[in-house]
A = this chain, B = another copy of it.
């Protein structure tokens, strides 16, 4: 008796707080609000067309995610990440994506290969076009769908949060983009490892990708203009 009504989403959309949180997350990710910037409640509320009530709820959600820092009677500020935070984000990402990758390899990986290949194609296209932001978008989607393919909602949520923080880091130095060739090559290696179902190679490639990326970020951080080869990891210099 059933038609194909399987995937009809009910009209009851999400709460406005969730929508506002998404909007703000996107804005922070894009760098619209630079790290350390104060988020005035009234301005943002009026700009989004909502009152301060829902806006504050959305802010609390972002605080729980660690994207904004709340100082009592001072205001809400976008968290600025120092070098230690960058390393921390990538160690956490390594832990989450490793677990997700193992689940993907252990399960049905055909669908995963499809979506990963699609994201990889977008990366290649963006790299060819020299579009840094599209490249970052595709990179983001690659890792997002890798974790999503694991079928673990908790790993997925953690990865989403961490990926937003990753974009925050990258937005701070988007004038100094990573070499697209290496990036694409590393992701292709990841896709290949998933395709072949090679656990060990997937894990090794993933961890190498993480350490490489954090090195790429931190090496160029201290002085964005000079590209000296390898200053041995400055202690804690802020971005």
Contacts and interface: CB of A to CB of B under 8 A. Distances in A.
Interface string A86-122: 0011011011101100010000000000000000000
A66 B12 contact: no
A8 interface: no
Nearest to A165: B154
A64 B66 contact: no
A184 to B, nearest CB: 27
Most buried by B among A70, A72, A89: A72
A146 interface: no
Contact of A64 (B64, B103, B152, B155): B64
Interface stretch (A26-34, A55-63, A174-182, A220-228): A55-63
A154 B56 contact: no
Contacts of A206: none
Q: Please report whether the interface of chain A is mostly helix, strand, loop or mixed according to DSSP.
A: helix
Contacts of A95: 95-96, 98-99, 155
A61 B66 CA distance: 11
B89 A15 contact: no
B12 A72 contact: yes
Given A53-B53, A61-B64, A72-B14, A99 B103 contact: no
A64 to B, nearest CB: 4
Contact of A94 (B58, B63, B65, B99): B99
A13 interface: yes
Nearest to A98: B95
A22 B58 CA distance: 18
A92 B92 CA distance: 12
Contacts of A70: 15
A103 to B, nearest CB: 7
Contacts of A65: 64
B88 A99 contact: no
29 contacts: A12-B71, A14-B72, A15-B72, A56-B57, A57-B57, A57-B60, A58-B60, A60-B61, A60-B64, A61-B61, A61-B63, A61-B64, A64-B64, A64-B65, A66-B157, A88-B153, A88-B155, A89-B154, A91-B99, A91-B152, A91-B154, A91-B155, A92-B99, A92-B154, A92-B155, A92-B158, A95-B96, A98-B99, A158-B158
